Structure 1
Amino acid sequence: MFGDVSVLAVGDLYQLPLVGQAPLFATVNNGSLNSLHESGSYGFIQLRSSCTDEDINVLSSKIITPKSHDYPTHVCHLYRLNKDVDDGSKFMLNKLASEEQFLIKAADATGGKPIDLSNVPDKRTETGNLHTTLKVAVVALVMLNVNVDVSDGLVNGTSGEIVHVVVNEGNSPIRILVKFDNQTVG
């Protein structure tokens, strides 16, 4: 409560922990799970005792990695860090190697005059979350990460698939056509 108003504040979950408190998230490893089990955590013991070795083997058999032959490519992937997003995007684009791919360099202009971007850092944290280069391919899955036009459904989180890339005479992309998952968007 703040001034008789309920406030729900959501922010960067990777921010510094509260003074004197543990971080909100921590990486869990098998050693942590073993120590939980050994410490007598009732919930963990109850879960572990209800699972047979066969159950655990079945669940373990469902674990997949990007190198698995049945790794899903046409599903939304969620990542913790921007670096993981970039690595995942590169991995998926490499799987589309047979599709025509385009590398688009960032361009900017003021008053119709181009601005030299050669000294712009390649860190999205310093460029308003914009890339200096963008690699795209037909059939690649895409997701908006900013609100473009709320009234038209072009909002953060809207996803779709690139269906065509329009190029100019120099074979440089000038438009990217996206078929959004929701037919009413766009």
Structure 2
Amino acid sequence: MLENIDSRLRQAFPQNAQISFGGISIILVGDLGQLPRVNDRPAYDSNRREKLLWGEFKTVVTLHKIFRQDGENFEQQRFCQLLTNLRDENPQIEDWKLLMTRIPPNMDAANNVEFDNTVHLFSTNDNVHNHNKKMLHLLKQPVARSVATKVGSVNIVEDCSSDELELELLISKDSRVMLTSNLWIQAGLVNGALGYIQKIVYKPGSAPPEPPSYVMVEFDNYSGLPFEDHHPSTILVTPIQKGRMLQLPLRLAWALTIHKSQGLTLPKATIDIGPRERIGLTFVAISRVKSLECLRIMPPFTYDHYEKMKNGRQLAKRKAEEYRLKVLEEA
């Protein structure tokens, strides 16, 4: 990614083509304790030119205030400390015991049922697909299959893959969906916005598997002008083009991978961290909610599984890089 940005900026500013990023000021924002890109290594651990580009960032500012888990009471401070330990890959037996209070056998029945329709976070795409398919079936509604339309003469699978658009999308009325593109940031229509489909509309003469003309989605946090006065949170979503692919910018969202949830704040979540711990995985999953009471863990995991995070192969490299950045900040 850094290499691509560097290359394009050198092209855009040819007078500075010999200078990194075309001489343009770049600000990187993020947390090294979160998940790296799928099947990729962090820039600081790369064998490519991006490691050199990463090394050119010399001004470091650390932000310390926690906003998602804000609160001064003891329970909230305890949850924040648990998350800090998770982020630092420093598992504690008392933290694990606290997390295990959020497994179904240790929750009262009414509280447990409340989580059945919450977003489920899984470590693998297969688990996400299976859960979404199960929930779609439970709606007992007709299902529309929307297959991405190719624009131009190329093969979509080979040339038109997009993180924002699905090659094939199954939807129905009342489907839980997530927006996958920034359509109107100021109004809350951003990548990651959650909602429910209210209506699927096709133009005359068209039908599945073509993408619909539009769908009406009631979003949880839409704050723009109402499309319909009696449904102020419902907005029209049409297919968009990315590269050579035309498709609705939506995906089913009863379940998401932990990778896809990165950056989201969820009102409640059910979490399955999977059989294998990866650096940042458990931290990202559990930190999607604002408090411990907003979390359900299913299935439970052993402390031995939890403790393995401190033995991650990448941990020593990340700690060394965080130390280097701290030295830069203090300087």
Name which of 10, 30, 39 aligns with 1:9. 30
Name which of 153, 157, 163 aligns with 1:121. 157
Q: SS state of the match for residue 74, structure 1?
A: coil
1:175 aligns with 2:214: yes
Name which of 105, 113, 116 aligns with 1:61. 105
Match runs of 1:79-90 below 5 Å: 79-90=122-133
Mapped partners of 1:148, 1:103: distance in 2: 23
- 1:49-96 per-residue CA deviation (whole Å, 9 max, x = no partner) reads x99xxxx89955258xxxxxx584532222333343333322221222
Mapped partners of 1:134, 1:58: distance in 2: 33
Mapped partners of 1:58, 1:71: distance in 2: 13
Corresponding residue of 1:104: 146
Higher helix share: 2
Corresponding residue of 1:150: 185
Unaligned segments of structure 2, at least 5 residues? 1-26, 47-90, 108-112, 225-234, 236-331
Preserved CA contact (<8 Å) 1:73 1:92: no
Mapped partners of 1:167, 1:177: distance in 2: 12
Mapped partners of 1:180, 1:159: distance in 2: 6
Aligned AA for 1:128?
Answer: S
Q: SS state of the match for residue 182, structure 1?
A: coil
Deviates more, 1:163-172 or 1:140-149: 163-172
Change (3 A) 1:12 1:148: farther
TM-score, with length taken from structure 2: 0.34
- 1:143-183 per-residue CA deviation (whole Å, 9 max, x = no partner) reads 11332221332112211100011123345232110011124
User: How many residues matched?
Assistant: 141
Change (3 A) 1:145 1:79: farther
Q: SS state of the match for residue 129, structure 2?
A: helix
Change (3 A) 1:61 1:148: same
Name which of 129, 133, 137 aligns with 1:94. 137
1:163 aligns with 2:207: no
Change (3 A) 1:9 1:141: same
Higher relative contact order (CA 8 A, sep 6+): 2
Q: SS state of the match for residue 139, structure 1?
A: coil
Q: SS state of the match for residue 84, structure 1?
A: helix
Q: SS state of the match for residue 163, structure 1?
A: strand
Please tell me the root mean square deviation across aligned C-alpha atoms, in Å.
4.0
